């Protein structure tokens, strides 16, 4: 379970921040990844009062072995979609509470799909490339019809989808009628 910390006023990065809400933070150990000293790498996840989960960019870059965090932040800020999922969040560290750039959880996979494999740690590279191929395949299926972007709407617009919907309705109706018939009390014959 994570821990809560309360931020009421914080001086950071040349400005005074006023926040009055508990912030929840979880720390997970990344399987199969260690730092230069051989210690397991840990990743913080910050959960804001509105329930959104954020991962600090410095932690993500650290896990992947990306040295230039500023360059990654600039790349994210230049991207129309990713920049909307990047924000400053409060992070509890060993040195206290600090403010840092964080990616909303939804953006992490998209961002990782855009990374250059040559810029990440050697032991992470094969898993990153495998992940990127999975992203390529998923996008291909989404764009070219194997996976519908709105499966419910797409299913209902096809003939088979309409027939399946009618069949489910009929089975549900039969099920209800069957249950009713089981409870009918018939008069005994003399």
Report whether 28 contacts 43 (CB < 8 A): yes
For residue 146, the 8-state DSSP code is S
Other beta carbons less than 10 A from residue 154's beta carbon: 13
- CA dist., res. 64 & res. 149, Å (int): 30
- CA dist., res. 63 & res. 56, Å (int): 11
- CA dist., res. 86 & res. 47, Å (int): 14
- CA dist., res. 181 & res. 184, Å (int): 5
Task: Please report, in tens digits, the pLDDT of each residue of the chain (190 residues total).
Answer: 455 544 443 444 444 444 445 578 888 887 777 777 888 877 888 888 888 999 999 988 988 888 899 999 999 999 999 999 999 998 887 788 888 999 999 999 999 999 999 989 888 889 889 889 988 888 888 888 765 555 554 554 565 665 666 566 556 655 555 444 443 344 555 5
pLDDT confidence of residue 13: 47
- CA dist., res. 93 & res. 175, Å (int): 58
């Amino acid at each position: 379970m994570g821990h809560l910390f309360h931020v009421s006023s914080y001086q950071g990065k040349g400005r005074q921040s006023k926040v009055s809400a508990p912030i929840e933070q979880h720390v997970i150990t990344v399987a199969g990844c260690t730092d230069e000293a051989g210690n397991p790498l840990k990743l913080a996840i910050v959960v804001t009062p509105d329930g959104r989960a954020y991962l600090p960019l410095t932690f993500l870059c650290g896990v992947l072995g990306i040295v230039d965090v500023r360059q990654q932040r600039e790349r994210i800020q230049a991207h129309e979609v990713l920049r909307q999922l990047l924000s400053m969040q409060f992070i509890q560290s060993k040195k206290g509470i600090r403010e840092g750039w964080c990616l909303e959880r939804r953006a992490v996979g998209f961002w990782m799909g855009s990374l250059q494999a040559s810029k990440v740690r050697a032991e992470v590279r094969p898993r990153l490339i495998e992940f990127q191929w999975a992203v390529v395949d998923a996008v291909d299926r989404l764009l070219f019809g194997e996976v519908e972007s709105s499966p419910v709407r797409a299913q209902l617009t096809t003939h088979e989808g309409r027939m399946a919907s009618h069949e489910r309705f009929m089975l549900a109706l039969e099920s209800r009628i069957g249950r009713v018939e089981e409870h009918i009390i018939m008069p005994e014959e003399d």
